[in-house]
């Protein structure tokens, strides 16, 4: 990292400029429990591979991770399944909305990638087979990665999602009809909605994803000599998928504007990886028409313009 970079000053500038973006999107009101979130919030954290952390704004306010958890469940599935995972889910951008069912019908129930809803449901199905209590297995991994024992899912949000998960349930049954779903869809949807309702702050999320910037090695206060969470090659491959598929059907636009591996969520969060340098988490609840945070994308674009970090991922 360029030692002349004044990250606290840069974050302060971004925080100031981002206020002008409020009002240009809308919160994810199709999930009733998220409809009441104050839209005019913004937080951002940069955590570097050498353990420094810089935050601004609402970076210590917990928010609903939603689809950002698809990154973590995918990593867990990759760890236990290896390359066998790709028999059930693809590695290509979808070009369709994150909750589209159309491609499943034309492609025999095999989702395009692990980060659209259909792909994440297959991943959750795989993990439901592997873990008796997937929700706690995921929390355990997140607590280790974030070095934070007090992480939980929001039960109110989980119930709200489960009660309105009709399209996801339809996808699950459709994939089961093609033999690409092994557990009962109801049980998988229970796990899926709980994982999406997991809450973290920007500061916690940046730390939890730092292993992707550090060749698979998690930053741990408790055991600095701990084994890598992923191999360096696996981390590189995860980052490649985040770059091409991590921002729903706006992945190409994100790659063009920001140039970093990212995972977005309809809770308004975005995590971005700068390989060899840092993990960046940003949160602002107002979304664009693709389901990505308006202010969050703006902030990341400003960050890479000021640092040149977007050139380090490709």
Exactly one of 160, 248, 263, 294 is catalytic; name it.
248
Give bridge partners of residue 314 from the DSSP assignment: none
Distance CA 105, CA 97 (A): 15
Q: Under a CB-based contact definition with an 8 Å cutoff, are residues 311 and 274 in contact?
A: no
Ligand-binding annotation for 136, yes or no, is no
Radius of gyration (Cα) for the chain, nearest Å? 18
Exactly one of 64, 70, 89, 262 is catalytic; name it.
70
Ligand-binding annotation for 192, yes or no, is yes
Asked about 248 being catalytic, the answer comes back as: yes
Longest C-alpha distance within the chain, in Å? 57
Ligand-binding annotation for 266, yes or no, is yes
Asked about 192 being catalytic, the answer comes back as: yes
Asked about 131 being catalytic, the answer comes back as: no
Exactly one of 192, 263, 284, 304 is catalytic; name it.
192
Asked about 256 being catalytic, the answer comes back as: no
From residue 303, how far is each of 100, 239, 282, 306 by CA, in Å?
A: 32, 19, 11, 5
Sign of the CA dihedral 168, 173, 179, 183? Answer: positive
Exactly one of 122, 188, 266, 271 is catalytic; name it.
266
Between CA 89 and CA 95, with CA 93 as vertex, the angle to 5 degrees is 120
218 alpha carbon, distance to own chain's centre: 17
Exactly one of 67, 160, 284, 293 is catalytic; name it.
67
Asked about 70 being catalytic, the answer comes back as: yes
Residues tagged active-site: 67, 70, 192, 248, 266
Residue numbering of the annotated binding site for substrate: 67, 117, 161, 168, 192, 248, 266
């Amino acid at each position: 990292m360029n030692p002349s970079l004044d990250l606290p000053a840069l974050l302060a500038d971004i925080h100031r400029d981002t206020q002008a973006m409020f009002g240009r999107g809308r919160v994810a009101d199709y999930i009733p429990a998220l409809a009441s979130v104050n839209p005019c919030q913004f937080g951002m954290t940069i955590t570097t591979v050498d353990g420094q952390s810089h935050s601004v704004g609402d970076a210590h306010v917990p928010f609903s991770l939603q689809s950002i958890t698809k990154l973590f469940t995918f990593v867990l599935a990759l760890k236990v399944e290896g390359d066998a995972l790709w028999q059930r889910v693809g590695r290509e951008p979808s070009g369709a909305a994150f909750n589209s069912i159309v491609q499943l019908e034309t492609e025999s129930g095999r989702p395009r990638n692990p980060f659209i809803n259909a792909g994440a449901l297959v991943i959750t199905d795989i993990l439901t087979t592997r873990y008796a209590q997937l929700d706690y297995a995921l929390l355990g991994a997140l607590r280790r990665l974030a070095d934070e024992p007090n992480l939980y899912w929001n039960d109110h949000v989980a119930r709200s999602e489960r009660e309105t998960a009709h399209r996801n349930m339809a996808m699950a049954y459709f994939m089961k009809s093609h033999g690409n779903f092994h557990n009962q869809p109801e049980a998988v949807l229970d796990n899926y909605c709980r994982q999406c309702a997991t809450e973290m702050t920007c500061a916690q999320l940046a730390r939890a994803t730092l292993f992707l910037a550090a060749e698979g090695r998690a930053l741990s206060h408790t055991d600095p000599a701990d084994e890598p969470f992923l191999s360096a090659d696996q981390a590189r491959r995860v980052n490649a998928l985040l770059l091409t598929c991590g921002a729903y059907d706006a992945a190409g636009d994100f790659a063009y504007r920001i140039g970093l591996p990212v995972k977005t969520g309809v809770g308004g969060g975005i995590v971005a990886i700068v390989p060899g340098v840092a993990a960046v988490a940003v949160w602002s609840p107002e979304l664009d028409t693709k389901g990505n945070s308006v202010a969050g994308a703006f902030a990341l674009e400003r960050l890479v313009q000021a640092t040149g970090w977007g050139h380090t991922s490709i």
